A and B are shown apart, each in its own frame.
Chain A
Amino acid sequence: MLVVALVSFSLFNFVGDPINNMVGEETSDEEREELRESLGLNDGVYVQFSRFIVNASKGEFGISYQLRRPVSDLIIERLPATIELVIISALIALISGTLLGVYTSINRKGLLSDIILAVSLLGVSLPTFVIGILFIYLFAVILGVLPSFGRGEVVDLGFWSTGFLTISGLKAIILPSVTLSLFQMTYIIRLVRAEMMEILQTDYIKFARARGINEKSIYYKHALKNGLIPVITIAGINIGTLIAFSIITETVFQWPGMGFLFIQAVQFVDIPIMSAYLVFIAFVFVMINFIVDILYYFIDPRIRVKGDKIIG
């Protein structure tokens, strides 16, 4: 976390001259100096860094160079849109990815499995933005059944604005979330399948067969529970990746989330937004890792009862 803070601070500090980016060519040197002073850019590096940390922990990242508004306001405004999108996509990717992965690993020779696998390979080869464009063209331009951009009507709950409560909001989220989840879903299918197939070849599965345990129990109890352990890790990384890829989806669908904000910031070298986004992402990742570790503890007894001595 601190590492990320340092990186985003150095971004803030050493990358170009923010003043140049903020003001026009015609600004005089005095005016520049004044602005510099007011932004605290003339203080020592350590002072600036500690101020950055303090402010960051309070959720303040300064003022956007480009939009001239406090970054924290911008983030809070955009946050709900991104989170709703990512959660829906993660659910789609995880649930359908795991189910299809298990299905293809158990029915290895079936026609349906072959189709799922071929489609999943195609899915890995389809860049997210291409999927998005195809969807827009198909559902919005040709069929005209779903909206191609925006969030639809949102309901403001004070601190949170949600699109879940209106029909247009729900309609609007279908295309972006499916687009976003598709790549991850295919990835999970392949991972689960590889993992399951490896487990099905282990000695303990063979021994379970030799004891006459029925196939259903072998697949869904013995193999699946072992197979899900790495899936948890992947699910963690998966959510992180979804957030990153939401940048693309949000751009394609002009979804008013943080990714859209970020990509504009990159194009205009709007450092405060970039560094705030980075800190936000780092925070999410740390949280996800933490949750994954806890889940591991509950699922894998080898970690849970490690302290016990081997007896006998």
Chain B
Amino acid sequence: MSFLKISNLSVDYKMRRETVNAAKNVNIEVSKGEILGLVGESGSGKSTVGNAIINLIDEPGKVSNGTIFLGDINVHKDPENIVNYRGNKIGLIFQDPQTSLNPIFTIGEQLIETIQTHLNLKLEEAKNKAIGLLKEVGIKDAEVRFNNYPHQFSGGMRQRVVISLALCCEPELLIADEPTTALDVSIQSQILDLIKRLTKERNLAVILITHDMGVISETTDRVAVMKNGDLVEIGPTKKILTNPKEIYTKSLVSSVPPTNKKIDRFIIIEKENKKQSETNIKILNRWTKKEIINQYLVQVKHLSKTFNDSFFTESSKNSVMAVDDISFKIKEGQSFGLVGESGSGKSTIAKMIVNLFRPSKGDIFFDNVCITKIKSNKEMMKFRKQIQMIFQDPYSSLNGRLKVKDIVAEPIKLHNPSISLKDLNSYINDLLESVELTQQSADRYPHEFSGGQRQRISIARALATQPRLLICDEPTSALDVSIQAQILNLLKDLQEQLNLTILFISHDLPVVRQMCDRIAVLKNGKLCEVSKTEELFKNPSHEYTKELLRLMPKIESIYNL
């Protein structure tokens, strides 16, 4: 007998031009002691369903149809009454622990307030209960930390506090909306373990909303796949992941980078761009193709970067060592991966190579020239042309006030001011075609494109100067997994045909495994190890690497159950 029963749930957003159906006739059941995964890409309506259960949908959204039963209670029968179930029967956890807690009350005050709202307890009893809860979610010195403010906790600890707040009135249903997306891998696994443990101990019914198939495979008992507001498929996790029925689920599963092997290309079942690409890269004839000579293109020697930024002086007198004595070399034509969690200094290294930051110590050699010592602007321009970069956030990496053709034209004109208009336009078209965008895209503005398409524009812009080294700073971590697969395929194609050297930066080990020949693992600004990709995954030598590999959510783990 299922505990939560959602029948025919529909949620509509009345927008200016049309009504968006964020959820259409969704039917989901969850039993006690069970974790149901709700998976889907952005815009699939998975969070909408979660919020609809406790009627917390943002304006102008509205539940237009359907019933939600919690045991025998019809939750939505009386909209005024839903307040009584929030916190009391249903607990909710949000994605970002940094913003989920009120900054000017201590966590104790927030716990006690919540407890006393629902349970008839005296202040002292409520306090004891709160401290017990903090201990239960794994906060040490709970009696002391009880009086701390949220900003005194780290991200992982805050998420524990959030969980304790969600559970403090003993709800029977817990909805966790991307509870670990903002956290590092090592902390993610702790939080997921905590949720699993609490599910067992308290016999909770849990809905875990996530986009991460690895998390789904390791945590959930059953999974529901959503797309554009429709429930595509629902069933036991193992069955859905190993033997999906629907074509969408198949494409979703095949887009996930496997953690246990290296594949040549991702199998794309549903394509973002309708036009099928013929792997013909048009800019090839403009490209002065380099012979691969077996030499190092990039050499990083004892690189260090210290930030004694005025921003930090108030909180700590000591300066922050973002990068600490790091050396590595990249051969021309290779792709080299930099892996690490947040704060490991991987992006800082990239910014030093493209000369956005000056290193505090050490040198960077490009083509055997030390580029960190260059003073003159003219000299620098020569290297600017050869080193280009793609950024993480597709929304901020393009200037929204310029048309696509102007964005792509800027580097061309800058490095070749005498280019004729005709030549320029045909070059732009070739570039756009190479990244599988239509010619019509040139006259449009960035906001008319999706995240994946914007990332393609970024790539076109980076290729416009015909660089030898392309730095990709988490190029796909803001994208949905199916789009990620397409972009990664494109990068591989480009690299093969243009002989690009790629420095690939990511926190995502499976992605790095698919993309790189060699990998460097970073932790807190220090280099842990550098080795060939397959070697690193099969025989990691450093403790930290082993831990990362062990904790990374693996979609394949489902096969071993």
| Residues of A bordering B, CB below 8 Å | 202-215, 217, 221-222, 225-226, 229, 299-302, 305-306, 308, 310-312
- A160: min CB distance to chain B, Å: 39
- Min C-beta distance of B149 to chain A, whole Å: 4
* Chain B residue, CB-CB nearest to A301: B149
Known: A204-B101, A205-B102. 12 other contacts (CB 8 A): A204-B102, A210-B92, A211-B87, A211-B168, A212-B85, A212-B117, A212-B169, A213-B87, A213-B113, A213-B114, A226-B102, A302-B104
Chain A to chain B: the 6 pairs with minimum beta-carbon distance, closest first:
A212-B87, A212-B86, A211-B87, A210-B92, A203-B99, A312-B157
Contact B88 A212 (CB under 8 A): yes
Q: In whole angstroms, how far apart are the Cα atoms of A209 and B91 in the complex?
A: 11
* Complex contacts, A308 vs chain B, CB 8 Å: 148, 152
20 example contacts (A-B, Cβ-Cβ < 8 A) are as follows: A203-B94, A204-B103, A206-B94, A209-B56, A209-B86, A210-B87, A210-B92, A211-B87, A212-B84, A212-B85, A212-B86, A213-B113, A300-B104, A301-B103, A302-B103, A306-B314, A306-B315, A308-B148, A311-B154, A312-B145
Kindly list chain A residues whose C-beta atoms are within 8 Å of the C-beta of B99: 202-204
Interface bits B145-188 vs A (CB < 8 Å: 1, else 0): 10011011110110000100110110000000000000000000
Bound complex: CA of A205 vs CA of B58, how far in Å? 13
Instruction: Check B100 for interface membership: any CB of A closer than 8 A.
Output: yes
The reply to whether A302 and B56 contact each other, CB–CB distance below 8 Å, is no
Residue of A nearest to B149 (CB): A301
Q: Which residues of A contact B103 (CB under 8 A)?
A: 204, 226, 301-302
Q: Is B14 an interface residue (CB 8 A)?
A: no
Question: Are B104 and A301 closer than 8 Å at their CB atoms?
Answer: yes
Interface residues as binary, B312-336 with A (CB distance below 8 Å gives 1, 0 otherwise): 0011000000000000000000000
Which of chain A's residues has its CB closest to B97's CB?
A203
The reply to whether A312 and B153 form a contact with Cβ atoms under 8 Å apart is: yes
Name the one of A208, A209, A213, A310 contacting B152, with C-beta atoms under 8 angstroms: A310
Tell whether B226 is near chain A: CB-to-CB under 8 Å.
Answer: no
- Decide if B165 touches A207 in the complex (CB within 8 Å): yes
Chain A residues with Cβ below 8 Å from B86 are 209-212
Report whether B149 and A211 are in contact in the complex, using a CB–CB cutoff of 8 Å: no
Indicate if B29 sits at the interface (CB-CB under 8 A): no
* CB of B269 within 8 Å of the partner chain: no
> What residues on B are CB-neighbors of A229 within 8 Å?
104
| B54 CB within 8 Å of chain A | yes
Chain A residues with CB under 8 Å of B102's CB are 204-205, 208, 222, 226
Question: Please, which residue of chain B has its CB at the minimum distance from the CB of A208?
Answer: B102
**Set of chain A residues within 8 Å of B139, measured between Cβ atoms:** 312
Whether B151 pairs with A217 at a CB distance below 8 angstroms is no
Complex: chain A residue closest to B90, CB-CB: A210
- Determine which of B91, B140, B162 lies in contact with A312 in the assembled complex, contact meaning CB atoms within 8 Å: B140
Contact B114 A211 (CB under 8 A): yes
Complex CA–CA separation, A253 to B32 (angstroms): 74
Q: Which residue of A lies closest to B84 (CB)?
A: A212
Which label, helix, strand, loop or mixed, suits the secondary structure of the A interface? helix
In the assembled complex, the CB of A213 is this many whole angstroms from the nearest CB of chain B, namely 6
* Interface residue from A206, A301, A305, A310 paired with B56 (Cβ < 8 Å): A206
A221 contact set on B, CB distance < 8 A: 113
Nearest to B82 among chain A residues (CB) is: A212
CA distance A212 to B55 in the complex (A): 11
Q: How far is the CA of A204 from the CA of B93 in the complex (A)?
A: 11
Give the residue name and chain of the A residue nearest to B157 (CB). Answer: A312
- Nearest CB of chain A from residue B484's CB, rounded to whole Å: 26
CB within 8 Å for A207 and B140 given contacts A212-B88, A310-B154, A312-B153: no
Residue of A nearest to B314 (CB): A306
Residues on B with beta carbons closer than 8 Å to the beta carbon of A302: 103-104, 149, 151
Residues A210 and B54 in contact, CB atoms below 8 Å apart: yes
CB-defined contacts of A311 to chain B, threshold 8 Å: 145, 152-154, 157
Chain B residues positioned under 8 Å from A208 (CB to CB)? 102
Given A211-B86, A212-B86, A213-B113, A226 and B56 contact (CB-CB distance below 8 Å): no
Q: Is A310 in contact with B153, judged by CB distance below 8 angstroms?
A: yes
Q: Name the B residues within 8 Å of A300 (CB-CB).
A: 104
Q: Which of A208, A217, A221, A229 has the most CB of B within 10 A?
A: A208
**Which B55-93 residues sit within 8 Å CB-CB of chain A?**
56, 83-88, 91-92
* Known A211-B166, A212-B84, A213-B87: A203·B152 in contact at CB below 8 Å: no
| Docked-complex contact B84 and A203, CB < 8 angstroms | no
Q: Is B118 an interface residue (CB 8 A)?
A: yes
Given contacts A203-B96, A203-B100, A310-B153, contact A210 B114 (CB under 8 A): no
Q: With A and B bound together, what is the CA distance between A62 and B16 in angstroms?
A: 68
Q: What CA separation (Å) do A258 and B113 show in the bound complex? A: 50
Q: How far is the CB of A219 from chain B (nearest CB, A)?
A: 13
Verify A305–B149 contact, CB threshold 8 A.
Answer: yes
Give the one of A212, A299, A306 with max B CB within 10 A.
A212
**B113 CB to nearest A CB, Å:** 6
Complex alpha-carbon distance, A211 and B56, angstroms: 11
Distance from A230 Cβ to chain B, minimum over Cβ atoms (Å) = 13
Is the Cβ of A207 less than 8 Å from the Cβ of B149? no
B117 touches which of A206, A214, A301 (Cβ 8 Å): A214
Q: Evaluate contact between B165 and A212: CB separation under 8 angstroms.
A: no
Among residues 88 to 138 in chain B, which have CB atoms less than 8 Å away from a CB atom of chain A?
Answer: 88, 91-92, 94, 96, 99-106, 113-114, 117-118
CA–CA, A48 and B88, complex, Å: 74
Which residues on the B side are within 8 Å of A301 (C-beta)? Answer: 103-104, 106, 149, 151
Hey, which chain A residues are within 8 Å of B94, CB to CB? 203, 206-207, 210
Residue of B nearest to A311 (CB): B152
Contact B56 A299 (CB under 8 A): no
CA distance A209 to B55 in the complex (A): 10
- Known contacts A204-B101, A300-B104, A312-B153, A213 near B92 by CB under 8 Å: no
Set of chain B residues within 8 Å of A202, measured between Cβ atoms: 99
CA–CA, A308 to B316, complex, Å?
Answer: 10
Q: How far apart are A119's CB and chain B's nearest CB, in angstroms? A: 26
- Interfacial chain B residues near A226, Cβ < 8 Å: 102-104
In the assembled complex, the CB of A218 is this many whole angstroms from the nearest CB of chain B, namely 10
Cα distance A297–B358 in the bound complex, in angstroms: 37
How far does the alpha carbon of A213 sit from the alpha carbon of B118 in the complex, in Å?
A: 9
A190 to chain B, nearest CB (A): 22
Assess the B101–A305 pair: CB atoms within 8 A.
no
| Cα-based distance from A136 to B451 in the complex (angstroms) | 62
